[in-house]
Amino acid sequence: MALLVSAALLWPASLPAEQVPVRYTEGLVHGFLALRNMAGTTLADGELLEVARGDRVTSRLVFHFKDGSLRDETAVFSQRGRFQLISDHLVQKGPSFPEPLEMTIDRASGRVVVRYTEKDGEQKVADERMELPADLANGMILTLLKNVGNAPPASLSMVVTTPKPRLVKLPLSVAGAEPFSTGGTARKATHYVVKVEIGGVAGLVAPIVGKQPPDSHVWVLGGEAPAFVKSEGPMFQDGPIWRIELVSPAWKK
């Protein structure tokens, strides 16, 4: 442990916050999504709803699971030159989530409140003041990646729950362009890889004890009107890899 603490003191300083410039302003959006496991089984129906008022955007991503679970996240952010999170509210509950929780973030004040239920049923509250950087990306990852093209920032920041709140870095990289099709039209999407850098002593220990979070992957169609195509990654600590994809309406014959 002494060696780990010494190594942590010598660990490189965190990368500076780099906000994403607004290349494409957000507006009125209502999209339909499916959440599936990696075998292709549909676990939940989802919706993305966005409303812009002036330079402030409210974005809500909600999934209703077939087992009755719910994941509901609402992010409010500004898009005045650069994207900046104002607040975020996340609810996860039901059989699909081993530890139900509710988290609220107020970036300006740095207040983060997490209400969670432990496996033994005991309810707890973590109410903390944190130094939240300008590049905080909770509830905004898909929006930000639509605006970075092939030159994403080195990293973004995010508050995660363990279940208590913890600030981590998300190093970004581009894995390349990958082909897909819509109907008979061939297209290409940019494949982004989002890692999790825990940092400090915990970050050094995580790979050793098998707690290093897996990478997440996001595919975005570029061009004059960039669009989210799909994503793959966990939604909670030690959670399985789930896939989010767009779906089209189905009509009765």
pLDDT digits (tens, 9 = 90+) for 11-56: 334 445 789 999 999 999 999 999 999 999 999 999 999 999 999 9
Structure tokens at 99: 């530890």
Q: Which of 168, 181, 245 is nearest to 212 (CA)?
A: 168
| Bridge partners, 165 (sequence order) | 161
Which pLDDT value is given to residue 12?
A: 38
Which pLDDT value is given to residue 2?
A: 40
Which pLDDT value is given to residue 16?
A: 58
Which pLDDT value is given to residue 144?
A: 97
Structure tokens at 108: 């300006």
- Report how far residue 181's alpha carbon sits from residue 174's, in angstroms, rounded to the nearest whole number: 20
Residues 138, 158: contact at Cβ < 8 Å? yes
Structure tokens at 125: 């509250």
3-class DSSP state of 214: coil
Q: Is the pLDDT of residue 201 over 70?
A: no
**Rg for the chain, CA atoms, rounded:** 19
Q: What is the pTM of this model?
A: 0.87
The residue ranges of every structural domain in the chain are 14-246
The better pLDDT of the pair 248, 157 is held by 157
- φ/ψ of 241, rounded to 5, equals -80, 125
Residues 83, 100: contact at Cβ < 8 Å? no
The better pLDDT of the pair 3, 106 is held by 106
| Bridge partners, 101 (sequence order) | 92, 116
Task: Give me the residue label for tokens 């793959």.
Answer: 232
Assess whether the previous peptide bond of 163 is cis (omega < 30° from 0): yes
Task: Give me the residue label for tokens 């940092």.
Answer: 199
| Bridge partners, 7 (sequence order) | none
Which pLDDT value is given to residue 150?
A: 93
Tell me the mean pLDDT in the region 95-119: 94
Residue 170's pLDDT band (boundaries 50, 70, 90)?
Answer: very high
Tell me the mean pLDDT in the region 113-128: 91
pLDDT in tens, 47-97: 999 999 999 999 999 999 999 999 999 999 999 999 999 999 999 999 999
Which pLDDT value is given to residue 119?
A: 78
Residues 201, 175: contact at Cβ < 8 Å? no
Beta strands at 101-106 and 111-117: parallel, antiparallel or unpaired: antiparallel
Beta strands at 42-53 and 227-233: parallel, antiparallel or unpaired: unpaired
pLDDT in tens, 202-241: 443 344 334 688 999 999 999 999 999 999 999 998 899 9
